[in-house]
Amino acid sequence: MATHIPQKTIWIGIIGAIVLFLFCVEAFAQPPKDIEQRIKQLEQQLQDTTDLNKLMQTYHDAIQILDEANRNAGGITGMQAMSITPAETPEKEMDRQREIINRQFRQVKNMTGHYFSADPEKPQIPEAVPVEGYIIVNGGEKELFYNEVKTDLLYTIKERFVGNLMVLHTYDPKKGRFDGEKEYKIDSLSTEINVSNVMGKHCARWSSGSPTVCTRWGHFFRYTIAEGERYPQFHSGVVSAVTTENGQIKIEASAPEVVFRSDDGITNAIMGCFNATWVMSKTEFETFLKRGEIILREDIGKPLGPSPGCRPGSTMTMYLKVKQEPAEECNNMDSVKLTIVSPQDKSRHVFSDEYLFSEYSNQLILELEAETVPEHYADSVEWTIPEVEGSNRTIIPSSASSTPKGRKLTVVYKGLPEDNNEFGRKTVGATLKVGSCILEETREVRFFYPRDEKNNPEGKYPNWYYYWKQTPAARPFGQNVRIEYQCEGIPIDKCACFQQGVIGQYNPYYSGYKTINICDLKATTWDPDTFWVQLPAVKRSKPSTLSERNFFSYTYIDTFAVAVMHEFTHFNNFHTFWPEGWKESEDKDEDFIPDRLESDLGFHPGKKQTYWQEIDLGGDEEFLTLESTYDYQTGTYDEYDWANPGKNWFK
């Protein structure tokens, strides 16, 4: 992970708060001037350093001084001594740091009028608020070599974090109170790193002659995460924020350092999409805080060139949620109970089909019911109900509140949304407030669409085609490609989508540039319910696949994904091998690979099909397209398949 200087300000602010706290302690085993001198030495060490590891060590030294003072003063002030030892998990460590900061804040707040009356400066006293969230990098690396692709990699990285939002309250000694001016800082620690959708290749060997083409690819399928990215290492920070000199809030998100490794055992690619920065006014930032969450997105891609880098179109998304502190302990609540009767946890809910009567068409109904003990509290239950952007939500009985009350509610979503991401896992919450006490229950619900209907907003194609085109499954090897349905753009007599077992087609003479066709999978796959197909499991670098006869099976969105990859490889091969169009004189065996390249590619230049000769695969170029899906892992895109039936319907 890249390290960044704004975190320096956070440590200085915290250490400054420690100074304030130490002067508020009534008694020390050690003389106060010794304590003051040691703290000032630490502050001086910070002024000219940009070494974040040194900053962290200085912070630990400051906490140790505080710990000594805490223990020595504990018997007199009644304060509980706190250990300086880092906690065993990042969550507990952030709790520990927050308790240290907020203990200082409470102590200093109670003594400000006495201790700062003569101070000409306006001191800032930090208060810590818990936050949590995640960042998502949808990106990849791309490198060119003489305008040919040398490295082509796609990945998704999601890193969760916990942290503290430091609110620096400004105290006015002349007025003897806080003046309302605030600055903000964020510190965070990584809690989980997930790397998914890894797909890509790197050219390990180029052909001789001109034009040069890649004759051997190394495919990326493994990765390692740098050890320093996980707690308790310092670089496990994820999101930071600082108030700039002009009063704006600068938020910075840093992805973990990931190294991708190919199957040739030699080639590595270092993640190049690692950082995003957002700047906003303090008013905008405080508006987000009032809402309780911040969602930011940034395009972090860079122009293509001869050096590897974050590919165009790569994005980073940052989500931060302000956590509610646990409610104070409630007394006499043992006899009060709250239970969500409906919906059941992980229950499935699907939009209806298109019916003759529109009032019943294209809607999803969610029934909510809660029970309480005593029973009369049930009418006071408040519900948190998920939104579906692009679908009209109606609550019965009607309520203008964002958290309607009632023991029973009916929620109707009318109209399928445009965005595939609006389907999937949602959370329904029930809250019961009795005096100062709060009881909460949640249930996970899952929203689906009917797979084979055509009641999506466009209404022209089946829902599976409309929604899956929006997912990474429609971007083969991270490439943007135009996808047409069935025989669009291809004459009927040239269209292969009427043949059983054919799931896609690329026709170099009729298809537009970078355009492929996906067939009606319900009609052409071997099982219309599951979209089941089989493809030969072949790869030249694995000799056993050339002698054995094994097949890979695919269903649902996996079938769509491999169809897109397969047809895109046809397109890519044709434009790589035949930039001026296919020439019979250069392809005597008519396998659509130039004769001059076949030996370098491991094929026989005199045979149309070098391997699996007893089964008609369609030739050596077709073999390359089958090979392109060999490393695809079934289940890669399960999280995007919310069709009924589909991958998540049966989970």
pLDDT value, residue 13:
47
Question: If pLDDT is split at 50, 70 and 90, which confidence band does 585 have?
Answer: very high
Q: What is the DSSP string of 587-599?
A: -TT-SSS-HHHHH
Q: Tell me the β-bridge partners of 191.
A: none
Per-residue pLDDT averaged across 617-643, rounded? Answer: 95
Q: CA dihedral in degrees (344, 348, 354, 356; nearest 10)?
A: -30
Instruction: Tell whether the model's pLDDT for residue 347 goes beyond 70.
Output: yes
**Distance from C-alpha of 17 to C-alpha of 112, rounded to nearest angstrom:** 13
pLDDT tens across 111-132, in order? 655 555 555 567 788 899 999 9
Q: Coil, strand, or helix at residue 374?
A: coil
**Distance from C-alpha of 277 to C-alpha of 463, rounded to nearest angstrom:** 37
Question: If pLDDT is split at 50, 70 and 90, which confidence band does 23 have?
Answer: very low
Peptide bond into 605 cis (omega under 30): no
Question: Residue 445: phi, psi to the nearest 5?
Answer: -120, 160
**Distance from C-alpha of 571 to C-alpha of 211, rounded to nearest angstrom:** 18
Per-residue pLDDT averaged across 83-88, rounded? Answer: 72
Contact 581, 556 (CB under 8 A): no
Q: Coil, strand, or helix at residue 584?
A: helix
Q: How many other C-beta atoms are found inside a 10 Å radius of the C-beta of residue 459?
A: 12
**Distance from C-alpha of 240 to C-alpha of 248, rounded to nearest angstrom:** 14
**Closest-CA residue to 288 (of 426, 401, 133):** 133
Computed on alpha carbons and rounded to an integer, the radius of gyration of the chain in Å comes to 31
Domain range 337-450, its CATH number among 3.30.200.20, 3.30.420.10, 3.40.640.10, 2.60.40.10:
2.60.40.10
Contact 592, 570 (CB under 8 A): no
Question: If pLDDT is split at 50, 70 and 90, which confidence band does 31 have?
Answer: very low
Q: How many helices (H) and strands (E) does the chain have?
A: 11, 25
Q: What is the DSSP string of 502-515?
A: --EE--TTTSPTTE
Q: What is the DSSP string of 53-98?
A: HHHHHHHHHHHHHHHHHHHHHHHHH-PPP---SPPSSHHHHHHHHH
Per-residue pLDDT averaged across 471-487, rounded? Answer: 91
Please give the residue that has the higher pLDDT: either 147 or 568. 568
Contact 444, 427 (CB under 8 A): yes
**Distance from C-alpha of 366 to C-alpha of 350, rounded to nearest angstrom:** 10
- Report yes or no on whether pTM surpasses 0.75: no
Instruction: Tell whether the model's pLDDT for residue 606 goes beyond 50.
Output: yes
β strands within 146-256, DSSP E: 148-172, 177-206, 214-225, 239-243, 249-254
**Distance from C-alpha of 179 to C-alpha of 181, rounded to nearest angstrom:** 6
pLDDT value, residue 218:
83
Contact 167, 126 (CB under 8 A): yes
Instruction: Tell whether the model's pLDDT for residue 71 goes beyond 90.
Output: no
pLDDT value, residue 357:
65
Q: Coil, strand, or helix at residue 601?
A: helix
pLDDT value, residue 8:
42
The burial class, CB within 10 Å (0-12 / 13-18 / 19+), for 155 is: buried
Q: CA dihedral in degrees (607, 610, 614, 615; nearest 10)?
A: -110
Helix (H) or strand (E) holding 341: strand 337-342
Highest mean pLDDT among 76-85, 142-151, 201-210, 238-247: 238-247
pLDDT value, residue 63:
58
Highest mean pLDDT among 92-101, 228-237, 491-500: 491-500
Per-residue pLDDT averaged across 327-347, rounded? Answer: 81
Peptide bond into 173 cis (omega under 30): no
DSSP 8-state assignment for residue 532: B
pLDDT tens across 158-200, in order? 999 999 999 988 877 777 777 778 899 999 999 999 998 888 8
Spans of all domains in the chain: 6-322, 337-450, 463-644
Question: Residue 575: phi, psi to the nearest 5?
Answer: -75, -20
Q: How many other C-beta atoms are found inside a 10 Å radius of the C-beta of residue 566?
A: 22
Distance from chain centroid for Cα 279: 21
Instruction: Tell whether the model's pLDDT for residue 386 goes beyond 50.
Output: yes
Per-residue pLDDT averaged across 405-432, rounded? Answer: 95
Instruction: Tell whether the model's pLDDT for residue 48 goes beyond 90.
Output: no
Per-residue pLDDT averaged across 60-75, rounded? Answer: 56
Single-letter residue type at 288? F
pLDDT tens across 244-283, in order? 989 999 999 999 999 998 887 788 888 889 899 999 999 9
Residue with tokens 């030294």: 61
Relative to beta strand 337-342, strand 363-373 is: antiparallel
Per-residue pLDDT averaged across 82-95, rounded? Answer: 80
Question: If pLDDT is split at 50, 70 and 90, which confidence band does 235 have?
Answer: low
Q: Is 264 left (phi over 0), alpha (psi -120 to 50) or beta?
A: alpha
pLDDT value, residue 20:
46
Single-letter residue type at 299? D
pLDDT value, residue 304:
73
The residues, ordered by sequence, that sit 6+ positions from 175 with a Cβ below 8 Å of its Cβ are none
Give the residue ranges of DSSP H helices in 298-403. Answer: none
**Percentage of the chain with pLDDT > 90?**
55
Of 1-5, 342-346, 370-374, where does mean pLDDT reach its minimum? 1-5
Contact 485, 518 (CB under 8 A): yes
Helix (H) or strand (E) holding 627: helix 620-627
pLDDT tens across 96-111, in order? 889 888 887 877 766 6
Per-residue pLDDT averaged across 462-479, rounded? Answer: 93
Query: Positive or negative CA dihedral for 297, 303, 308, 313?
Result: positive
pLDDT value, residue 137:
94
Single-letter residue type at 169? H
Q: What is the mean pLDDT of the chain?
A: 84
Question: If pLDDT is split at 50, 70 and 90, which confidence band does 620 have?
Answer: very high
**Distance from C-alpha of 357 to C-alpha of 198, rounded to nearest angstrom:** 45
The burial class, CB within 10 Å (0-12 / 13-18 / 19+), for 109 is: middle
The burial class, CB within 10 Å (0-12 / 13-18 / 19+), for 252 is: buried
Q: How many other C-beta atoms are found inside a 10 Å radius of the C-beta of residue 149?
A: 19
